[in-house]
Amino acid sequence: MTFKTDERSIRLYNLYNHLAFKLALYVAVWSFLFLAVFEKPAVPGAALPYWATMIIEACILIFFLSRFIHNVLFSEPASFWKDPKNIVVIVTIILVAIDMVGYIIWVNVTSPAVAAKAVRWSRPLRPLFLINFPEGRQLRKAFRNILRTLPDVVHILALFLASIAIFALLALKLMQNRSLVYPDGRPYFNNYFECVWDLYVLVTTANSPDVMMPAYNKNNWFATFFFVYIVVNVYIFMNIVLASVYNNYRRHLKNEVIKTVYLKRRLLARVFDLLKVWQRDTYVVTRQTWHSLMEIAAPHWGPTRRDVLFYVLDDTADNAIRRKDFLKVADLLNVELAEEKEEPTALENWCPRCYLAPPSEVIKSIVRHRFFHYTFDFLILLNAFIVGFNLEEAEWGFLTAFTVEILLRVYTFGPKKYFTTFWDVFDFCVVMPAVIGTIIETSLGDDYGRVKLIDFLMVIRVLKLVRLIGSIKRFQIVLTTIVNIGPSIATYGAVIFVFFYIYAVIGMELFSGLINYYGYDTKNETEMFCGDQRLKGSEFLQKRYCGNNFNSIAHSFVILFELLVVNQWHVMSSGFVLVTNKAARLYFISFHMICVVILLNILTAFILEVFILEYSLSQTELESTIEARIKDMGLGLGQNPGENPKTVKQDKHVLVDNMEEVEMSGSSPTAATSGDSCDVTAGAVGKQQDQGLRFRLKRSSRKRVETLLEYMFEGEIGPAEEGQDEEVITAGPAARTNTSSEMAA
Amino acid sequence: MTFKTDERSIRLYNLYNHLAFKLALYVAVWSFLFLAVFEKPAVPGAALPYWATMIIEACILIFFLSRFIHNVLFSEPASFWKDPKNIVVIVTIILVAIDMVGYIIWVNVTSPAVAAKAVRWSRPLRPLFLINFPEGRQLRKAFRNILRTLPDVVHILALFLASIAIFALLALKLMQNRSLVYPDGRPYFNNYFECVWDLYVLVTTANSPDVMMPAYNKNNWFATFFFVYIVVNVYIFMNIVLASVYNNYRRHLKNEVIKTVYLKRRLLARVFDLLKVWQRDTYVVTRQTWHSLMEIAAPHWGPTRRDVLFYVLDDTADNAIRRKDFLKVADLLNVELAEEKEEPTALENWCPRCYLAPPSEVIKSIVRHRFFHYTFDFLILLNAFIVGFNLEEAEWGFLTAFTVEILLRVYTFGPKKYFTTFWDVFDFCVVMPAVIGTIIETSLGDDYGRVKLIDFLMVIRVLKLVRLIGSIKRFQIVLTTIVNIGPSIATYGAVIFVFFYIYAVIGMELFSGLINYYGYDTKNETEMFCGDQRLKGSEFLQKRYCGNNFNSIAHSFVILFELLVVNQWHVMSSGFVLVTNKAARLYFISFHMICVVILLNILTAFILEVFILEYSLSQTELESTIEARIKDMGLGLGQNPGENPKTVKQDKHVLVDNMEEVEMSGSSPTAATSGDSCDVTAGAVGKQQDQGLRFRLKRSSRKRVETLLEYMFEGEIGPAEEGQDEEVITAGPAARTNTSSEMAA
């Protein structure tokens, strides 16, 4: 246990985990990061004097400190002070405080010339708060795994760099005495370090084929050198770096996931030991105990739902849960079950006579017919052409048609169903703003405010095309998969954000104000060549890259994103080398190594793995069990038993082209293809159906990152293993799961 | 059976498979492809008149035809004419013949103006011979799988293109009325098809960030559009395309491999049925039968080796092979066993007295000491610096030292061992030419011929550094893995070569002679702007890309390789668009789609998978069995029993960092680290040791593509499954394996 268990501590724990405090922490952390917008060099128009940002910063810092002290109060000191994340938080708080005091002294006490050089050196540390507060668990895990991966891939990277070094020596020996020059007159491969730089850039393919052309034009056989270089370093080595980075990262990730699973199981085993009773030659948890437990752990669930879970766990059907089944509780709580009553629509309740009248039924059957759907798909396509050819007049007609469609669909399916179906909601969110926007546009006339509104309406109009894609089933599966894996990928997005922030802040300290964008037609002498004579005639200026600078956090993020895309990164770095010196290349190379070679490769490989996983498998083992149980109990939700027996897919090795067969049952084509839920066709209608309650498995449950990760390694974790006990200590408080909070409760 | 089994047919079959004929076929196919060097537009200096190349072509074609007819003679007509590859071969032969006759008529009969436009349209068909002759089995399989993969990924590609189309509409609506221009004055996003083109290029990142700069300079918020576009299309969609292409390709590959394995097993089962005798309530193959069979199938093997294999197969140790074990025969024959006698070195035989004398032993122990190794590693490094700083005088000293090292090592380990160790051979191949070259160089003096010799020596000198890398164990494992997976990757190299050839020939027909390289300082009017006024002021000319043209097959391959690397491909295509029209873009886009999006993605994913497989696993199940048997029989080759028990690694889930532990036993550090063999430490010295014969498993066996593929799917193929019989028909003759040739023999 990492927390004290006396009553005061539990009260403090609950207070600490109060939603308001958690929200406040998020706001504080993001505001802390957001301060860079207002600090020097600020985003144009947002500059604040340094004391203003410092006051905000001090307030946030005090909040962090109070939060930290609050945490100290209810934690076991021994494990608390052994946890690296707590150490990092308190050290960072102290460092930031020292930096703030130092900066104030620097600015106010020293001479103006010295004061102008004042540096807020603690700013790159800010993202540490994002990582190290307990709430950033996934992010912290990702960072920990990346750090652990590095030593394993260092020798591959070293080999890769050695290969570049050898090729650079070869290039130098082959080219240096041929007096070749680049088109802009720079000497060609006549200095070892320039060779290394040019060949490093070539590995990123950014200067291909320019770097080859002078030699190739001299003698065609030189193409062989570059061919061998590219095959060896780009196609073989870069792929091996990718393989190695990913293979090692995956291994550490697996260890981490397994550790978490084992810890969870051991904690549950302890709960089981507290609750168990002796019954028929084994220890079990009885039904009654289960209900009392659930009343504390999940008070918002009804008794039927608790029963469903109980039946799922009660493998032997003797009204008791055994130890090995009890260990599944945490996973079970993660599976989201939707409780649904088959209710009449709101309109049916309000006026059943008119809603069920024959004309109304005709309307409903028209709306439900697939040609209704096709007609509107065609209208959307037609609308796209209208938009493309600027025929604004026709827009009103389309908007009316789409509005009518929405009303008809709401009428037919009822507002509740309509507003819980993804593509219907999407449709609503696109058409309604378009209607409102067009009304405002028309009423405003040819005013100034229209310009931005028109942009907005353009985007909205084009977005309607996305709905067309959403109505083609093969596309939909892909889109649903993308939506499902989104959150898992977002973790890596956050990791990249952290590095972006650090590099942006360092970049601003190093390069801000050196290159400025004044337009390219200026005749003002100080403003020519983007404010620096040394850029005259450079490719940087020729390409008009002066807007790519580090003059504010927003500009920095844009240029860093461009560097992440890699193309032309050497031209951008050449600009900053010209206005400083060649050491600036270290900044750009290190960014490339960390963000592109390591992080982007992990991201790529992770997307590959997760996409293949999501796209080719349908359900986890647990989900299949639950579904089968729900079906057994006759609590499944299904309109037409026997109509579509393919719905329940338990074959875990369904290949991609079988995916097409996973059709959702349901009468509305849009609802049927929402892909967000997996209805269970109830084969036999059982005893409890009279309660009018139905359950279905929400597919969204897999969207949680932890669940997906466990699912990824499902085959490699034994079903009842609990691991060695000493692992509890090494796993420590970092691997805490939501079960620990249940226990403290 | 796809062959007739009468005696005449078998004689014809054996003649058909005679090595000389097979070699002649290879030479003919490659000469056929190589003809493009001499045909118009020929490589400068290699042009031949059309009748000269046509005579060669006709000869080759007649050879192909005779080969085809030969094949018809001994094949079962029913299956022969159902096999698509035979149909393709004969149709291609006919088409080429028609084209040749047509061309001769076209050139000689029509008017000169028409004759100048004569086209050899059958040339893109030439690589079909490479694919469709029976010897190109792996290549054919790769092509078949790629073709089968396409329908599965078409909807992902369609979605991807739809996404580009929607973003292009959005870009058009957002930008078209802002009168923005590119730095070179071209209009910016003002035409829908230009938008699509620019955004398609952006997906390849080739025009990032240039395509963004005009909008970004106008209003910084436009960066958001490009950010969203790149994240959605580059980072998400391209990765999903990669995942989908690979996932589907892997599935088809697996089916193909499984089919082959099943066919092989069924054929073996038939052999078993022919040879079986009834012995103790089961059918078996006796030892005697086994020996007679092996005498026919592998006459060059000694009886001990046959015995080893027999013991491996004789699972129940009752001198008989059961059916399920017999099915392993083909795999067993693929495992390469090295037969080694522990012989004294040549020198020891010749003069044992002086070789074994104390001074000789001292020399040998010095050479075997690791500091001897370290000293020469240091010398290589020092030599690299000397090369870097052009201190040519010191070179003689180094060459002498390296030569002495080679002599000492040959003396100590014996020439046989020395010349079978990879890194020693490498060393020899680098040092000896350097010695010879330097001698020639010195004797030639300052002559003209020196220049090329110096280049050659430079390369050789720098290559020595590779040996240094080879002496660091962690690097070596990586290099060995690369060497091992080389042949598997070469298949994909061949696939890419086929597409390169087709695109090169088409490219030459479309674009040859339109852009010429005359140097950039010419004042000759017809030679300015690379021979076309329309290129004036274009980025193509500015970048000096005129050497990148389609004026010969060699030039075409270079530009296609540059297109494969992707960077600046839009600039290259813009040049050819300027001298023709915008339809030329189709050529470049289709090349990108096929070669980069499909082929390169398959290659990348395949390298990833194979590298992780090779790098993390050590042996197949069969190899482990054989090794264990060899060990049991006391026939293993090992210098120091018990010295390094880690050598035999049977754990199939060894993770990467355990790989370091796979050390080879042996006294020479270079030999010990060759990584090419896996010596088996014989724990107990058994009965047959007195024969002086030892075996070890050659790791090189895994280098065969088929073996590696089977290994890849090892876990997914049941050990004794034979599949359904109807699969024989569908698998047909295409899935023939080397066992079928055994059977025919």
Residue B251 and residue A655 in contact, taking contact as beta carbons nearer than 8 Å: yes
**Highest mean pLDDT: which range of B47-56, B432-441, B627-636:** B47-56
Which residue's structure tokens are 């060459």?
B399
Q: What distance in Å separates the CA atoms of residue A178 and residue B654, rounded to the nearest whole number? A: 51
Q: Where in chain A is the domain with CATH 1.20.120.350?
A: 353-471
Residues on chain B touching A234 (C-beta within 8 angstroms): 565
Interface membership of A543 toward B (CB under 8 Å): yes
Interface membership of B161 toward A (CB under 8 Å): no
Q: What is the pLDDT of residues B596-644, one digit of tens each?
A: 999 998 888 888 788 777 766 655 566 667 777 777 766 654 433 333 3
Tokens read off for A322: 């055994």
Q: What is the pLDDT of residues B356-413, one digit of tens each?
A: 888 888 888 888 888 888 888 888 888 888 877 777 777 788 888 989 998 998 888 8
Q: What distance in Å separates the CA atoms of residue A335 and residue A698, rounded to the nearest whole number? A: 8
Judged by CB atoms closer than 8 Å, whether chains meet at B166 and A206 is answered as: no
* pLDDT given for residue A588 in this prediction: 96
In this model, does residue B194 exceed pLDDT 50?
yes
Interface membership of B248 toward A (CB under 8 Å): yes
Nearest chain A Cα to B44, which residue?
A220
Q: What distance in Å separates the CA atoms of residue B269 and residue B258, rounded to the nearest whole number? A: 16
Residues on chain B touching A212 (C-beta within 8 angstroms): 562
Q: What is the pLDDT of residues A201-222, one digit of tens each?
A: 999 999 989 999 999 988 888 9
Of A235, A543, A611, the CB nearest to B240: A611
Of B211 and B624, the structure prediction assigns the larger pLDDT to B211
CATH number of A484-614, picked from 2.60.40, 2.60.120, 1.10.3470, 1.10.287: 1.10.287
* pLDDT given for residue A745 in this prediction: 35
* pLDDT given for residue B704 in this prediction: 62
Interface of B with A in 173-212 (CB under 8 A): 173-174, 183, 192, 205-210, 212
Q: What is the pLDDT averaged over residues B663-678? A: 33
Judged by CB atoms closer than 8 Å, whether chains meet at B388 and A657 is answered as: no
Residues on chain B touching A240 (C-beta within 8 angstroms): 478, 482, 607, 611
- Give the rounded percent of residues in chain B with a pLDDT score beyond 90: 24
Residues on chain A touching B208 (C-beta within 8 angstroms): 562, 565, 567-568
Strand partners, A285: A321
Tokens read off for A528: 């020519």
Of all helices (H) and strands (E), which one includes residue A554?
A: helix A553-565
* pLDDT given for residue A90 in this prediction: 93
* pLDDT given for residue B616 in this prediction: 65
Q: What distance in Å separates the CA atoms of residue A221 and residue A231, rounded to the nearest whole number? A: 16
**Highest mean pLDDT: which range of A236-250, A714-728, B449-463:** A236-250
Of B183, B243, B547, the CB nearest to A216: B547
CATH superfamily of B353-471: Voltage-gated potassium channels. Chain C (1.20.120.350)
Nearest chain A Cα to B462, which residue?
A170
Q: How confident is the model at residue A107 (pLDDT cuts 50, 70, 90)?
A: confident
Of B458 and A699, the structure prediction assigns the larger pLDDT to B458
- DSSP structural state of residue A594: I
Residue in B173, B539, B599 to test binding to A, most A beta-carbons within 10 Å: B173
- DSSP structural state of residue A110: S
Cα maximum dimension of chain B:
96
Of A208, A384, A479, the CB nearest to B565: A208
Residues on chain A touching B614 (C-beta within 8 angstroms): none
Judged by CB atoms closer than 8 Å, whether chains meet at B173 and A462 is answered as: yes
What average pLDDT does the structure give for chain B? 79
Judged by CB atoms closer than 8 Å, whether chains meet at A227 and B561 is answered as: yes
Judged by CB atoms closer than 8 Å, whether chains meet at B612 and A159 is answered as: no
Of A38-47, B278-287, B706-715, the range with the lowest mean pLDDT is: B706-715
- Give the rounded percent of residues in chain A with a pLDDT score beyond 90: 24
Q: What distance in Å separates the CA atoms of residue B543 and residue A615, rounded to the nearest whole number? A: 44
Interface membership of B227 toward A (CB under 8 Å): yes
In this model, does residue B678 exceed pLDDT 70?
no
Judged by CB atoms closer than 8 Å, whether chains meet at B615 and A247 is answered as: yes
* pLDDT given for residue A609 in this prediction: 80
Q: Where in chain A is the domain with CATH 1.10.287?
A: 484-614
Q: What is the pLDDT averaged over residues A364-387? A: 86
Q: Nearest C-alpha of chain B: how many angstroms from A197?
A: 16
* pLDDT given for residue A476 in this prediction: 78
Strand partners, A286: A320
* pLDDT given for residue A384 in this prediction: 82
Q: What is the pLDDT of residues A130-174, one digit of tens each?
A: 888 766 788 888 888 888 988 888 888 999 999 999 999 889 888
* pLDDT given for residue B669 in this prediction: 35
Residues on chain B touching A211 (C-beta within 8 angstroms): none
CB burial string A72-106: b at 16+ within 10 A, e below? eebbeeeebeebebbebbbebbeebbebbeebeeb
Burial of B400 (0-12, 13-18, 19+ CB in 10 A): exposed
In this model, does residue A737 exceed pLDDT 50?
no
Interface membership of A500 toward B (CB under 8 Å): no
Residue B739 and residue B330 in contact, taking contact as beta carbons nearer than 8 Å: yes
Q: Nearest C-alpha of chain B: how many angstroms from A253?
A: 14
* pLDDT given for residue A227 in this prediction: 94
Residue B444 and residue B641 in contact, taking contact as beta carbons nearer than 8 Å: no
Interface of A with B in 693-712 (CB under 8 A): none
Q: What is the pLDDT of residues B212-250, one digit of tens each?
A: 999 998 888 899 999 999 999 998 888 888 888 888 888
Residues on chain B touching A562 (C-beta within 8 angstroms): 208-209, 212
Q: What is the pLDDT averaged over residues A302-309? A: 77
Q: What is the pLDDT averaged over residues B462-490? A: 80
Interface membership of A37 toward B (CB under 8 Å): no
Q: Nearest C-alpha of chain B: how many angstroms from A210?
A: 7
In this model, does residue B666 exceed pLDDT 50?
no
Does the pTM exceed 0.90?
no
Of B173, B236, B558, the CB nearest to A458: B173
**Highest mean pLDDT: which range of A459-473, A667-681, B122-136:** B122-136
Q: What distance in Å separates the CA atoms of residue B521 and residue A724, rounded to the nearest whole number? A: 76
Judged by CB atoms closer than 8 Å, whether chains meet at A247 and B517 is answered as: no
Amino acid at A168: A
Q: How confident is the model at residue B655 (pLDDT cuts 50, 70, 90)?
A: very low
Q: What is the pLDDT of residues A438-484, one digit of tens each?
A: 888 777 766 555 566 667 777 777 887 888 887 787 787 788 778 77
Q: Nearest C-alpha of chain B: how many angstroms from A471?
A: 12
Distances B719 to A517, B260, B515, B722, B738 between C-alpha atoms, Å: 69, 14, 60, 9, 20
Interface of A with B in 572-611 (CB under 8 A): 603-605, 607-608, 611
Q: How confident is the model at residue A368 (pLDDT cuts 50, 70, 90)?
A: confident
* pLDDT given for residue B256 in this prediction: 84
List the end-to-end C-alpha distance of chain B, in Å, as a whole number: 13
Of A730 and A456, the structure prediction assigns the larger pLDDT to A456
Whole-number CA gyration radius for chain B = 31
Q: How confident is the model at residue A272 (pLDDT cuts 50, 70, 90)?
A: confident
Tokens read off for B113: 């103006």
Picking from B94, B131, B128, B134, the residue whose alpha carbon sits closest to that of residue B13 is B134
Q: What is the pLDDT averaged over residues A346-353? A: 76
Own/partner contacts of B12-18, CB < 8 Å, gap of 24 or more, are: B12/B70, B12/B73, B12/B74, B13/B74, B13/B744, B14/B745, B15/B70, B16/B67, B16/B70, B16/B71, B16/B74, B17/B741
* Predicted-assembly ipTM surpassing the 0.85 threshold: no
Judged by CB atoms closer than 8 Å, whether chains meet at B478 and A156 is answered as: yes
Q: Is the dihedral of CA A365, A368, A371, A376 positive or negative?
A: positive
Strand partners, B341: B693
Residue ranges in A356-421 assigned as alpha helix (H): 358-368, 370-388, 395-413, 415-418
Q: Nearest C-alpha of chain B: how many angstroms from A243?
A: 5
Interface membership of A563 toward B (CB under 8 Å): no
Q: What is the pLDDT averaged over residues B286-299? A: 82
Judged by CB atoms closer than 8 Å, whether chains meet at B155 and A475 is answered as: yes
Judged by CB atoms closer than 8 Å, whether chains meet at B243 and A611 is answered as: yes
Residues 6 or more apart whose CB falls under 8 angstroms from that of A575 comprise: A515, A535, A538, A540, A541, A545, A546, A548
* pLDDT given for residue A619 in this prediction: 53
Q: Nearest C-alpha of chain B: how many angstroms from A498?
A: 17
Own/partner contacts of B54-61, CB < 8 Å, gap of 24 or more, are: B54/B100, B54/B103, B54/B104, B56/B31, B57/B32, B57/B96, B57/B100, B58/B100, B60/B28, B60/B31, B60/B32, B61/B93, B61/B96, B61/B97, B61/B100
Of B668 and B272, the structure prediction assigns the larger pLDDT to B272
* pLDDT given for residue B551 in this prediction: 92
* pLDDT given for residue A450 in this prediction: 56
Residues on chain A touching B605 (C-beta within 8 angstroms): 608
Q: Where in chain B is the domain with CATH 1.10.287?
A: 485-614
Own/partner contacts of B176-182, CB < 8 Å, gap of 24 or more, are: B178/B215, B178/B218, B180/B214, B180/B215, B180/B218, B181/B214, B182/B210, B182/B214
Interface of A with B in 260-299 (CB under 8 A): none
Of how many residues is chain A composed? Answer: 745
Q: What is the pLDDT of residues A573-612, one digit of tens each?
A: 999 999 999 999 999 999 999 999 999 988 888 887 887 7
Residues 6 or more apart whose CB falls under 8 angstroms from that of B292 comprise: none
Of B209, B216, B608, the CB nearest to A239: B608
Interface membership of A300 toward B (CB under 8 Å): no
Q: Nearest C-alpha of chain A: how many angstroms from B205?
A: 6
Amino acid at B322: R
Using DSSP's 3-state secondary structure scheme, residue A38 falls into coil
Of A340 and B353, the structure prediction assigns the larger pLDDT to B353
Of A480 and A378, the structure prediction assigns the larger pLDDT to A378
CB burial string A538-549: b at 16+ within 10 A, e below? bbbbebbbbbbb
Q: Nearest C-alpha of chain A: how many angstroms from B478?
A: 8
Residue A52 and residue A38 in contact, taking contact as beta carbons nearer than 8 Å: yes
Residue B697 and residue B677 in contact, taking contact as beta carbons nearer than 8 Å: yes
Whole-number CA gyration radius for chain A = 31
In this model, does residue A251 exceed pLDDT 50?
yes
Residues on chain A touching B486 (C-beta within 8 angstroms): none
* pLDDT given for residue A735 in this prediction: 34
- B7-135: CATH topology: Four Helix Bundle (Hemerythrin (Met), subunit A) (1.20.120)
Residues on chain B touching A489 (C-beta within 8 angstroms): 236
- B485-614: CATH topology: Helix Hairpins (1.10.287)
Interface of B with A in 611-640 (CB under 8 A): 611-612, 615-616
Own/partner contacts of B148-155, CB < 8 Å, gap of 24 or more, are: B148/B252, B149/B245, B149/B248, B149/B249, B149/B252, B149/B598, B149/B602, B150/B598, B152/A656, B152/A657, B152/B244, B152/B248, B153/B241, B153/B244, B153/B245, B153/B248, B153/B598, B155/A474, B155/A475, B155/A478
Nearest chain A Cα to B217, which residue?
A547
Of A342 and B130, the structure prediction assigns the larger pLDDT to B130
* pLDDT given for residue A686 in this prediction: 37
In this model, does residue B536 exceed pLDDT 70?
yes
